[in-house]
Amino acid sequence: MELFLTNTCRYLVERRWYEQWKEYVVTGDQNSSSFPGQIDNTELFEELDSYHLKERLVENEDFVLIPAEAWCNLLAWYGMVDDQPALERKVVDLPSTVKVEVYPVEIFLCLHSNMENVVTAQFSRVDHIHTIQKVMMKQFDVVEGAETRLWMKSSDTCCERLRNVHVNVLDSSLSSGMVIYISPSISYSRNSVEEQESYRGQPGVCGLTNLGNTCFMNSALQCLSNTPPLTEYFLQSAYLEELNFTNPLGMKGEIAEAYADVIKQMWSGRHYSVVPRLFKTKVGHFASQFLGYQQHDSQELLSFLLDGLHEDLNRVKNKEYIELRDADGRPDQEVAEEAWHNHRRRNNSVIVDTFHGLFKSTLVCPECRKVSVTFDPFCYLSVPLPVSKDRVMEVFFVSLDPVAKPVQHRLVVPKAGKVFDLCSALSEMTDVSVNQMVVADVFNHRFYKIYHADESLSCILDRDDIFVYVKPEEGDEVVLALYLRERSHYRDSGSGSSSCGTSLFGHPLLMAVPRVQCSRNALYHLFLQRAGVPTNSQQGAGMGEDGSAFSFSCESDYTSHSHCQLLCHGCTQPYVAIDWDPDMKKKCYNENEAEKYVKHQSMEVPHQQTTVQLQECIELFTTVEILEEENPWYCPICKKHQLATKKLDLWSLPEVLIIHLKRFSYTKYSREKLDIIVDFPLRLVISCLSFTPPSRYDLIAVSNHYGGLRDGHYTSYARNKDNGQWYYFDDNKVTYAREEQIVTNAAYLLFYHRQDKIRQPTLPPPSDSSSSPTQPANVTSHKHGMERATSCVNMETD
């Protein structure tokens, strides 16, 4: 294995192995339970055949990054499990940021003349196309110096030539999963240009190619594309007269021009799918968080895009300084008009015309009761969802019965609860006293952590393997931890001498042992019985000191430890281990049988889907709240910062109202997505405080998110402005949709158009959108919205 001792690379190490190693460094005892054994990155791999990394691993949660020199030392000291590859990653210098490239770009390489012979290769985003060309020429035995051409296949029908071999992978918008083929310089490679030139379809009914985890961008673009006033502004080229090239807050007009190019292609009626490559490159150039091809949030992209378009198209060339005034008892109408006028003096664009409204913000000092009223502009509403106070957790219950399998239970516990609450819920199902339960996080065949009853449940992640063990009621018995270890021999790379080590396997156990049976011989037979090993086998009865199949290690005199001391959190946990000879382990230990468990009937109870009304979310948004300690308000009367009460109200509403449903919740210990159904109307009536009649809106687009926090897929529903037909956009695929399919638990961004501004469709809707034989070639029937949408979750790969 070739290792580079430079600062230009880092190595991935599974976080819990690394934490176990740190604990071992403190104890320094190879026979202790904290001995990490060989470096084991199994938890980072999707499968052990190809050693592909799992999608969307998080640094310091799933893995840690260590320098090359530290990696070499760890490798020399401990070795690696099962010949796993070293996870070396480059430190790359990207525009405005330096980062470790955890996920290199994985590309399929082949010859144009033999596209069945595909080779997979990984490249850094800072590698040049010339590097790929050299690798391919060597791989496919192309004569050195021969003139060749590289072609990039980004979809089933679209190929592009990589003309400039001196740009890097990032600037070429290459992403994982793409195919590059090499061909002689003769031009027999074709793309889909001719095919698309002959295509004629409904303007706006156009897919967007996924460039590699860019479904979040495609979803936001489809929603904006189907926002009539903005799209007509670009289609009529009105933006050309308003490009602001000198705005220091803008992007020199480049974002507006790139967006205009995408919109004009989508509404030309000549494309069934558009490749938004230039737009993606521009976004990454001006917003480094969107560089590369990791999954992102469609709302964050939308926020950046609306702000970027506004500054690129701001009609105000020189922003004047405006001193803000407090209301000081003046009428709300007067203060609101002044605030809106001041906002338009500095911000005047098609984005403000279309999307901006006005909040009324009221702050009240808790001490002097000073009331401060301000009016602030907004571009979208981010409304909270009523959060359930409960959490569903799954645990394995291990009884005192030595032959009983662990039982998996599904529990409903308070989100803000303690470990005691988990034990109480389990006690109701098992009739076992809470005082007899020991809650443990089991990882890497050992007790990774023992939890106290008063610890917060937020410390336990959904992916943790939580085992609840039963200990006997207070009596003349001792609770012992039992680990299974396999003996192994290795050669010390430093001294060259041969040494003996052990590695853990199987599930750890907690056993109740009568004090009278705490002799070495009695414990040995009890543990073999609990582990399911016959004690009357040919070699099983030996004590291990004379070369028998098993050896028995008692790390401490347990007869002098109480239950509390044995399971004390934060100290080195004593344990008893049975060391196995490798051959006898194969003969006597049935790994499949040892891993089996039983499902409790609670696992069969379906999860109840919660439904809330959109109006509830809006009311929650306007509820009085107390400012957080990190964000106090300075009271001009008290002359100090105060935790004031704050209330937001809607004063005036825009032509196009965007509502962001805040489905993603983050705390110090947990992150979750709220999958509750928000029942939003297709025709919305909403009131505000500006003494105007209620505003009436029609729904025109929805951005959907399917899946969880670390994976998932974005799609969108949108109503075509010309024919009034609803469509479902899933990257480059477009299907008809019906209104009754649109409300799902995946809805994330809602776009509403005020009815008094809506222009009636100029074209009749398709005669029968569910079965019309004359429907465009790129549009298919979307009869089962929920089923179809659910299948989209795993459609995208990186």
Could you give the CA distance from residue 267 to residue 287 in angstroms, rounded to a whole number? 26
Catalytic residue check, 452 = no
3-state secondary structure (DSSP) of residue 592:
helix
> Which residues have CB under 8 Å from 535's CB, separation 6+?
525, 528, 529, 541
- Alpha carbon distance 689, 659 (integer Å): 18
Segment (H or E) for 788: helix 785-790
Options 296, 356, 705, 713, the catalytic residue: 713
Interstrand relation of 9-14 and 88-94 (parallel, antiparallel or unpaired): antiparallel
- What is the rounded CA–CA span in Å between residue 333 and residue 339? 10
Q: Letter for the amino acid at 55?
A: E
Among the listed residues 790, 607, 597, 756, the one whose alpha carbon sits nearest the alpha carbon of residue 685: 756
Secondary element (H or E) of residue 583: helix 582-588
Write out the H or E segment, with its range, that includes residue 222.
Answer: helix 215-225
To the query of whether residue 784 is one of the catalytic residues in this protein, the response is no
3-state per-residue secondary structure call for 595-630: CCCEECHHHHCCCCCCEEEHHHHHHHHCCCEECCCC
Return the ∠ at Cα 178 (arms to 210 and 199), rounded to 5°. 55
Residues in contact with 705: Cβ distance below 8 Å, sequence separation at least 6, in sequence order: 298, 663, 673, 712, 713, 714, 746, 748
**Cβ-proximal residues to 641 (8 Å cutoff; 6+ apart), any chain:** 632, 633, 634, 635
Collect all residues with Cβ–Cβ distance below 8 Å to 418 and sequence separation of at least 6.
Answer: 453, 454, 455, 456, 457
Q: Which two tokens stand for residue 439?
A: 């809650």
Amino acid at 20: Q
Dihedral pair phi/psi, residue 697, rounded to 5°: -125, 150
What distance in Å separates the CA atoms of residue 784 and residue 656, rounded to the nearest whole number? 29
Kind and range of the H or E run holding 263: helix 254-266
Kindly report the number of other CB atoms within 10 A of residue 174's CB atom: 26
Q: Give the closest residue to 30 by CA, choosing from 441, 510, 500.
A: 500
Query: Out of 110, 206, 215, 223, which one is annotated catalytic?
Result: 215
Which residues contact residue 188 at a Cβ distance below 8 angstroms, ignoring those fewer than 6 apart? 112
| Residue 637 DSSP label | T
Residues annotated catalytic, as ranges: 215, 713
